[in-house]
Amino acid sequence: MNASAAHASSRERDGSDLARVERSTRTSHAALVTGLVLVALAATLPAWAPAEVASSWMRELVEIACYFIFAMMWNLLAGYGGMVSIGQQAFFGIGGYVMLALGNFAGVNAFVAVPLGALAAAAVAVPVSFIAFRLAGGYFAIGTWVIADVFRLSVANFSAVGGGSGTSLTALRGIEKATRETATFWMALACVIASIAFVYLFLRSKNGLALLAIRDNEVAAESQGIDVRGMKLAVYVVAAFGCGLAGALYFVGNLRISPDAAFSVNWTAFAIFMVVIGGIGRIEGPIVGVLIFWALNKLFSDYGTWYLLGLGGLAIVVTIFFKQGLWGWAQQRFGWSVFSTQRRLRL
């Protein structure tokens, strides 16, 4: 990569610098400031946005948040955990349905039920992993899809939650619309910040290094004493939690759930699209990806099938010609790094 350039330039400097490990760049500092500003803006949106658009903006941002969290989790699982899954929608749906069940039948506050739904998804991920981990590579991917389909079919036959046609979230009836929407919006914002923070800190930690080691060479990692199975399970469970969170959040915003919507493979399809376009294995990838995805959505979704066709085609072209995704390409070309989880050795 840029190793030889760095090596060459350090040779020219005098030898009095001690070797040090750089963990952040100028760009990342600038981005942190920008990020904080954006968060402040977003949190106060209900205050400054014109009344006519505040409601629809908030609802859209909640949706973007759900897509984004799902994509982050898929990215963590595939890009860092090395496990490509086409079945994460299973946990999205579980998060949604458990939240709904707790809200409708157990009288739990729907907002409290959101993290509980996520926890349920994480809990289910443990026995599921026992089955899914029997497969590897491409067949692991389709296997997870089968498992997601099992959940979809099971729930579709469960009349208590409306069977195949689904049901409504009654737990939030009685709360005023504006209050509900604002609360949902803030919750979504909190979830987004929490996911970014969590993934970022996780990857900068020793666990993150271990994960990268496993991704690069499982056998070598194992010989260094890394518990490969344990780490993979941990990542799988964490990703399930995140997807469950996204699902529960989505249906708090949407108020109506059905098996086809909750367990649709489209969630994973869009996540794959966002991450591949943005760049897999990089934290900024899903951010770039969701922004591009949302822009495309806004501009072209009226074209229905042609829009989806275009998305599919774009994913194919980017995969074949821009193997690192668009952000990855920019990173290599210009050396940008916003969320630096890399460690550069400066000699």
Partner 1 sequence: MSLLEILLQGLLLGGLYALFALGQSLLFGVMRLTNTAQGDFIVLAAFAAIAGLAALGPLLPAGRAAPFVVGALLLPISFGFGYALQRWVLNGTLGRDPLPSLVVTFGLSIVIQNLLLEVFSADPRSIETEGLNTASVALPGGLAAGVLPVGIFAVAVAATAVLQWLFARTAVGRSFRAVSDDKEIAELMGLDARKVYALATAIAFVPIAVAGVLQAMRTTVSPADGPVLLLFAFEAVIMGGMGSFWGTLAGALLLGVTQQIGFRLDPGWGIWFGHIVFLALLVVRPQGLFPKTRS
Residues forming the site for partner 1 (CB under 8 A): 78, 84, 86, 130-131, 134-135, 137-139, 141-143, 145-147, 149-150, 153-154, 156-157, 265, 269, 272, 276, 280, 305-306, 308-309, 311-313, 315-316, 319-320, 323
Going by the DSSP 8-state scheme, the letter that residue 19 receives in this structure is: P
Residue number with CB closer to partner 1 (135 or 194): 135
State which amino acid sits at residue 125. Answer: A
Closest distance between partner 1 and the C-beta of residue 157, in Å? 5
In whole angstroms, what is the distance from residue 123 CA to residue 126 CA?
Answer: 6
From the list 138, 86, 31, 106, the residue with the least C-alpha distance to 275 is: 86
β 256-257/167-168 pair status: antiparallel
- The minimum distance between CB 126 and partner 1, in angstroms, equals 14
Instruction: Please say which residue, 23 or 134, places its beta carbon nearer to partner 1.
Output: 134
Contact 72, 196 (CB under 8 A): yes
Residue among 78 and 252 whose Cβ is closer to partner 1: 78
The least distance separating partner 1 from the CB of residue 242, rounded to whole angstroms, comes to 19
Closest CA to 244 of 78, 10, 66, 86: 66
Cβ nearer to partner 1, comparing 75 with 341: 75
| Shortest Å distance, C-beta 148 to partner 1 | 10
Q: Please, which residue, 105 or 130, has the CB nearer to partner 1?
A: 130
Q: What is the CA radius of gyration of the chain?
A: 21
Supply the angle between the helices 89-105 and 228-254 in degrees, to the nearest 10: 50
Torsion region of 166: left, alpha or beta (phi above 0 gives left; psi -120 to 50 gives alpha): left
Q: Which is it for the CA torsion 337, 40, 240, 90, positive or negative?
A: negative
Helix or strand (DSSP H, E) at 274:
helix 266-278
User: With respect to partner 1, which residue has the nearer C-beta, 138 or 335?
Assistant: 138
Residue 285's nearest CA partner among 323, 249, 317, 321 is 323
Min CB(328)–partner 1 separation in Å: 13
- Comparing CB distances to partner 1, the nearer of 145 and 267 is 145
The dihedral over CA atoms of 23, 200, 236, 193, expressed in degrees to the nearest 10, equals 180
Please check whether residue 75 is in contact with residue 285, taking contact to mean a CB–CB distance below 8 angstroms. Answer: yes
The CB-of-334 to partner 1 minimum distance in angstroms stands at 24
Of 183 and 314, which has the nearer Cβ to partner 1? 314
CB of 124 to partner 1, least distance (A): 14
**Least distance (Å) from partner 1 to the CB of residue 315?**
4
Give the Cα separation of 183 and 202 in Å (integer).
Answer: 28
